[in-house]
């Protein structure tokens, strides 16, 4: 049976496994930018920004396209709705 809580827990576990595997494969891979963006007080009210080497940056044109973001969101929601047990 499908359980929202179990699915959420499994997705978080998958994130942990992914991060651990990345760390093993790419020893020089760091989390400085992620930690900076998540914890620095000056970024308290900053959302939806892209950072590189702990500096705000511009992502690709695709990454700035709100229509593509909306299409992905809609596709994902439709997929979940279609494949989740009621």
Which positions are annotated as active-site residues? Answer: 2
Residue closest to 50 by CA, chosen among 66, 65, 68, 63: 63
Assign 35 to helix, strand or coil. helix
CA distance 57 to 49: 8
Q: Which long-range contacts (CB under 8 A, 24 or more apart) does 74-81 make?
A: none
Residue 57, strand partner residues = 50
């Amino acid at each position: 049976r499908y359980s929202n809580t179990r699915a959420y827990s499994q997705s978080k576990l998958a994130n942990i496994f992914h991060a651990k595997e990345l760390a093993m494969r790419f020893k020089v891979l760091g989390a400085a930018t992620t930690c900076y963006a998540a914890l620095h007080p000056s970024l308290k009210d900053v959302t939806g920004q892209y950072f590189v080497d702990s500096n705000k940056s511009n992502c690709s044109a695709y990454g700035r396209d709100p229509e593509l973001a909306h299409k992905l969101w809609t596709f994902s929601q439709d997929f979940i709705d279609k494949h989740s047990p009621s």
